């Protein structure tokens, strides 16, 4: 006879952004948090936070190599990978452990280490990591299970040393050679990191350009910049892998060519973990991509079930998960005063070299929507700050002083509908543009209603706004 189910007011499945839902205002409720891995989710343990520590180290090495062009005798003399890796992990691992320890210290919260699955409406079974199971019921359930890397079923791949973003940051040793499969943001960031740290990188992408979902001008300049620093093979796919006796691998591409490597990094995308939850037994619908279907309040199709972040979002980004968590938190606490998630203008950044940031429509998307569009653009090399980065007046290298701001405007409304930045600190430069798109500020007069510090990199934004205003008025 099975044990009776423990009843909770709230069960949160996933301790990434889901963990942030529960604060002191839930102290009157009985709460269970179910997590099968370390607290903090992908971002803290396997994603944006540790990867940016590696990005920073790689940028320092790359900058040192550029010194001689500016008459500075800098150089990169290699990297102590074990020390770099251990420094990064020593920062993130204690944070994850502290987060779990704090939750376990709360009288009203039970932490269950294991994998949850639904067994019916409002009913959950947790397969515990130490063996056994726990049956739970709940008034409300929050699905915050994140996503996992996709590893394709390619012949021979599982017979060689291959990694995903979940494991590559914990490599025992820095390889001499690495093949990165995938040209999206994860593949491009890690290709940039390992090339910057001195690895001989080959990147394989089935599209004709890297970052193919970005604006075409952005994808083009990033692809050209990458080709200057590592080998880029576009328009080809990995067909099969042959393991070698010495532990290396031979990758066979579908154009008949081969690439030898020590390590394979698979970075072709991620899939939601919702498929692990037996959601059908609870009446929770998912879409064709496996995402939990939610309404504007983050409610799933079953009563008392909510979802957030990569489990349900069309944009698998940490800042989206954080906003979703705040919406779910408010709506759990205020069921008679629900707030709405706003996913209309979600920005994104890619920490490559050059850095990329975007929000809103690409030029192609604007044309597909039939907008009477205008395009404004300004190159960083045409600003005083860009001059400071140039090694000579003809140097317009996007990985140094180059890059640009490209703005898409709608003539019918006079509004900014898309912004794309390729430049050092692009993720910061784009922030005011995010605000103007989100608030619907008219482009006319926008640049001249404020001061722009001279000579600062933000003048490239000013220049693009002025150009767009001129194009809209023409």
Under DSSP, is residue 336 helix (H, G, I), strand (E, B) or coil?
coil
Which residue, among 157, 156, 170, has the nearest Cα to 51 in the 3D structure?
Answer: 170
Q: For residue 421, give Cα distances in angstroms to 48, 113, 163.
A: 20, 42, 30
Give the count of beta carbons closer than 10 Å to the beta carbon of residue 143: 31
- Six-digit token string for 357: 């940031």
Residue 343: active-site member = no
The secondary structure element, H or E, covering residue 429 is helix 426-429
Return d(Cα 25, Cα 19) in angstroms, integer. 14
Q: 87 near 56, Cβ under 8 Å?
A: no
311, 302, 313: which is closest to 341 by C-alpha?
Answer: 313
Q: Distance between CA atoms of 419 and 347, rounded to whole angstroms?
A: 9
Contact 444, 465 (CB under 8 A): no
Whole-number Å distance between alpha carbons of 249 and 341? 46
* Cβ atoms < 10 Å from Cβ of 415: 19
Rounded Cα distance between 297 and 55, Å, is 35
By the 10 Å C-beta count (0-12 exposed, 13-18 middle, 19+ buried), 246 is classed as exposed
Q: Which residues pair with 252 in a beta bridge?
A: 240, 258
Token representation of residue 442: 């008219």
Dihedral angle over CA of 214, 215, 218, 222, nearest 10: 40
Catalytic residue of the set 56, 158, 314, 454: 454
Interior/surface letters 364-373, b for 16+ CB within 10 angstroms, e for the rest = eebeeeebeb
**Within 13 Å of residue 468, how many CA atoms lie on the same side as its CB?**
34
Specify the pairing of strand 6-13 against strand 133-143: parallel
Q: Name every residue whose Cβ is closer than 8 Å to that of residue 296 and which is 6 or more positions away in sequence.
A: 340, 341
CA atoms of 377 and 392, how far apart (whole Å)? 22
Q: What amino acid positions are annotated as catalytic residues?
A: 454
């Amino acid at each position: 006879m099975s044990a009776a189910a423990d009843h909770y007011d709230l069960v949160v499945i996933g301790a990434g952004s889901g963990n942030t839902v529960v604060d002191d205002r839930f102290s009157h409720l009985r709460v269970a948090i179910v997590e099968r891995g370390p607290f903090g989710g992908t971002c803290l343990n396997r994603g944006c936070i540790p990867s940016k520590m590696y990005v920073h180290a790689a940028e320092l090495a790359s900058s040192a190599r550029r010194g001689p062009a500016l008459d500075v005798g800098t150089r990169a003399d290699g990297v102590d990978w074990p020390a770099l890796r251990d420094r990064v992990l020593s920062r993130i691992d204690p944070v994850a452990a502290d987060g779990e320890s704090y939750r376990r210290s709360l009288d009203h919260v039970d932490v269950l280490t294991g994998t949850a699955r639904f067994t019916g409406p409002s009913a959950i079974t947790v397969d515990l990591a130490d063996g056994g199971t726990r049956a739970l019921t709940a008034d409300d359930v929050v699905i915050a299970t994140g996503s996992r890397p996709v590893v394709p079923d390619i012949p021979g791949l599982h017979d060689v040393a291959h990694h995903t973003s979940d494991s590559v940051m914990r490599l025992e040793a820095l390889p001499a050679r690495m093949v990165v499969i995938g040209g999206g943001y994860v593949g491009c960031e890690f290709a940039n990191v390992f090339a910057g740290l001195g690895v001989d990188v080959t990147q394989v992408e089935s599209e004709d350009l890297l970052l193919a979902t970005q604006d075409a001008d952005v994808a083009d300049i990033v692809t050209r910049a990458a080709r200057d620093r590592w080998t880029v093979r576009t328009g080809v796919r990995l067909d099969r892998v042959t393991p070698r006796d010495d532990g290396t691998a031979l990758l066979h591409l579908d154009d008949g060519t081969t690439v030898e490597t020590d390590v394979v990094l698979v970075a072709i995308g991620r899939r939601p973990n919702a498929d692990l939850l037996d959601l059908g037994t609870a009446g929770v619908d998912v879409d064709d991509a496996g995402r939990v279907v939610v309404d504007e309040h983050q409610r799933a199709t079953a009563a008392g079930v909510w979802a957030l972040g990569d489990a349900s979002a069309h944009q698998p980004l940490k800042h989206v998960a954080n906003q979703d968590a705040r919406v779910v938190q408010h709506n759990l606490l205020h069921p008679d005063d629900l707030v709405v998630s706003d996913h209309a203008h979600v920005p994104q950044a890619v920490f490559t070299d050059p850095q990329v940031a975007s929000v809103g429509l690409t030029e192609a998307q604007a044309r597909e929507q039939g907008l009477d569009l205008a395009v404004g653009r300004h190159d960083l090399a045409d600003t005083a700050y860009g001059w400071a980065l140039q090694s000579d007046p003809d140097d317009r290298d996007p990985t140094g002083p180059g890059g640009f701001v490209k703005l898409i405007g709608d003539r019918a409304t006079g509004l900014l509908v898309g912004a794309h930045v390729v430049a050092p600190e692009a993720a910061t430069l784009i922030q005011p543009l995010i605000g103007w798109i989100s608030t619907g500020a008219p482009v006319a007069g926008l640049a001249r209603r404020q001061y722009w510090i001279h000579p600062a990199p933000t003048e490239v934004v000013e220049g693009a706004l002025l150009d767009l205003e001129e194009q809209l008025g023409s």
